[in-house]
């Protein structure tokens, strides 16, 4: 087959295995490939690697696709499913067998285990010893197919991140490219697919480096020009151990459920291993413009939940009120609140967007806007709902009942007049009203809250607070 023309446009791919949900590491791999393709005005391909039939699940396929869509990582081709391409792989396997570049192996699992134990006992690396390599065995049920590796010389990977990596071929063995059940193996199908799909660049985790010499030899045997490889260092937890759930690394869609914004997670993932000077915050347009493999570091990245929260808080502040309100509504409903209308929620988010780090946190902060009856923080109630505030509160209620304009400015002027009349400190009077309306001592601006709640919610709460004074 003819080698691929390297003048073709950039083509990258993301090839998840549907044996689990999309996690941070996979999402970062997808993002880097997507950004590289978009930067070069190339093509980004989604390929579902589902040849592990026993562990692949449709629900994981759906979860991966939903996660990518939520992050905004759209694809130009696909999704392709490897399970639907088995005839293509088998054609390539037959060709390798016919050309003497692969062969059938009858060695049983028990025999291979004995060989492995013997090699370890002798201090040797456990590799297939080539028992069936030159027997020219015919096909038979249960036989595997092995690739005839080059076992002398070197295989060189010119990695775009790490530079040249040299592998001694004597460290390789004749690896299985098709299992006994007729299903081809990962290292085989990924090469065939990448070659046929014209992939020009493969950006993936550096845990794949040891797979690369096998794959490079296979490209050569099949007559395909290999793509360029860039192996990205791993993401580690704060303790420098492999990232796991105990570090707070959750499936991508769990971040959505926790109230993270997709643009915050994309920004966070981009900065795990890639940098552009000291800049921390990037719009998606800036990421596409500036992303380049040369700016990916050689060291592992450290997952930092606090940095993610900081970024999310930034993007919540930057979000327009209506968009934020629509995103918040599912979280309000999850809390069990009756949501009156989008306009009301817009007013609510305008008061909370500078305070919340996640939408879930914002929904909890917004409780007093939606509850029919709030609960008091008892320490706050004892401190501020006191007898010497009662008369001023009663006059405040009577004045509110007569107002024709329930706006912030009018409410604040009324508050100031009564505060002065009863010689109360601003803090003492304001906190009494704040506790009456929200149940706590910390909240958005008092008059802003009152205007949003409206007279029909404010009056019953103030009256209840007065009734509470004698019982606190």
- 416 sits in the region (left: phi over 0; alpha: psi -120 to 50; else beta) called alpha
Query: CA 87, 88, 93: angle at the middle one, nearest 5?
Result: 95
Q: What is the greatest pairwise CA distance in the chain?
A: 106
For every residue of 103-135, DSSP letters joined together read EEE---HHHHHHHHHHHHHTT-------TTTTS
Q: How far apart are CA 437 and CA 304, in angstroms?
A: 37
Q: CA 219, CA 194: separation in Å to the nearest integer?
A: 10
Helix 342-352 / helix 321-334 crossing angle, nearest 10 deg: 100
Residue 153, phi-psi category: left (phi > 0), alpha (psi -120 to 50), beta (remainder): left
220 counts as catalytic: no
Other Cβ atoms closer than 10 A to 47? 23
Which residue in the block uniquely carries the two structure tokens 């014209």?
A: 198
Q: What's the CA gap between 325 and 339, in Å, rounded?
A: 11
DSSP-derived 3-state class of residue 70: helix
| Residue 42 and residue 10 in contact, taking contact as beta carbons nearer than 8 Å | yes
| Two tokens, residue 122 | 């002798």
Element containing residue 461 per DSSP (H, E): helix 455-469
Find how far residue 141's CA is from the centre of its chain.
Answer: 43
Q: Which of 9, 245, 298, 398 is catalytic?
A: 245
Contact between residue 435 and residue 377 where contact means Cβ atoms under 8 Å apart = yes
Residue with tokens 């609140």: 337
Pairing of strands 228-232, 201-205: parallel
CB 44 within 8 A of CB 37: yes
> How many secondary structure helices (H) and strands (E) does the chain include?
20, 12
Q: Tell the residue number behind the tokens 């914002």, with chain if given.
A: 362
CA distance 461 to 29: 52
CA–CA separation, 218 and 224 (whole Å): 9
Closest by CA position to 380, among listed 389, 391, 370, 371: 389
Alpha helices in 259-297 (DSSP H): 262-270, 284-290
Catalytic positions, written as ranges: 245
């Amino acid at each position: 087959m003819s080698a691929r023309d390297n003048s073709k446009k950039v083509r990258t791919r993301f090839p998840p295995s549907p044996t689990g949900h999309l996690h941070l590491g996979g999402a970062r791999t997808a993002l880097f490939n997507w950004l590289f393709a978009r930067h070069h005005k190339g093509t980004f391909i989604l390929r579902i690697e589902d040849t592990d039939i026993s562990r692949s699940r449709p629900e994981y396929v759906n979860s991966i696709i939903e996660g990518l869509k939520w992050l905004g990582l759209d694809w130009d081709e696909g999704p392709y499913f490897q399970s639907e391409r088995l005839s293509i792989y088998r054609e390539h396997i037959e060709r390798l067998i016919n050309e003497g570049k692969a062969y059938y192996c009858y060695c049983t699992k028990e025999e291979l285990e004995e060989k492995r134990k013997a090699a370890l006992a002798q201090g040797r690396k456990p590799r297939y010893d080539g028992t069936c390599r030159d027997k020219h065995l015919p096909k038979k049920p249960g036989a595997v197919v092995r690739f005839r590796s080059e076992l002398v010389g070197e295989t060189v990977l010119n990695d775009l991140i790490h530079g040249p990596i040299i592998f001694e071929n004597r460290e390789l063995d004749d690896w299985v490219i098709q299992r006994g059940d007729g299903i081809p193996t990962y290292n085989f199908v990924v090469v065939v697919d990448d070659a046929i799909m014209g992939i020009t660049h493969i950006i993936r985790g550096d845990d794949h480096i040891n797979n690369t010499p096998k794959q490079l030899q296979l490209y050569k045997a099949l007559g395909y020009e290999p793509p360029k490889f860039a192996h990205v260092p791993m993401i580690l937890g704060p303790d420098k151990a492999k990232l796991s759930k105990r570090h707070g690394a959750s499936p991508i869609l769990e971040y959505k459920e926790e109230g993270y914004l997709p643009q915050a997670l994309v920004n966070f993932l981009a900065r795990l291993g890639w940098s552009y000077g000291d800049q921390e915050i990037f719009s998606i347009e800036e990421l596409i413009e500036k992303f380049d493999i040369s700016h990916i570091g050689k060291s592992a990245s450290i997952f930092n939940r606090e940095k993610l929260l900081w970024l999310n808080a930034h993007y919540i502040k930057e979000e327009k009120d209506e968009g934020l309100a629509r995103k918040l509504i599912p979280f309000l409903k999850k809390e069990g609140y009756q949501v009156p209308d989008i306009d009301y929620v817009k007013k609510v988010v305008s008061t909370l967007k500078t305070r919340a780090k996640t939408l879930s946190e914002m929904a909890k902060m917004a409780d007093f806007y939606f509850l029919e009856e709030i609960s008091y923080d008892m320490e706050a109630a004892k401190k501020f709902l006191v007898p010497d505030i009662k008369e001023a509160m009663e006059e405040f209620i009577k004045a509110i009942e007569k107002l024709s304009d329930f706006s912030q400015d009018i409410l604040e002027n009324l508050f100031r007049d009564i505060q002065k009349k009863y010689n109360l400190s601003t803090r003492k009077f304001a906190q009494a009203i704040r506790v009456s309306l929200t149940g706590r001592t910390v909240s958005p601006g008092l008059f802003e809250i009152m205007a949003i709640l409206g007279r029909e919610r404010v009056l019953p709460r103030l009256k209840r607070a007065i009734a509470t004074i004698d019982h606190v």
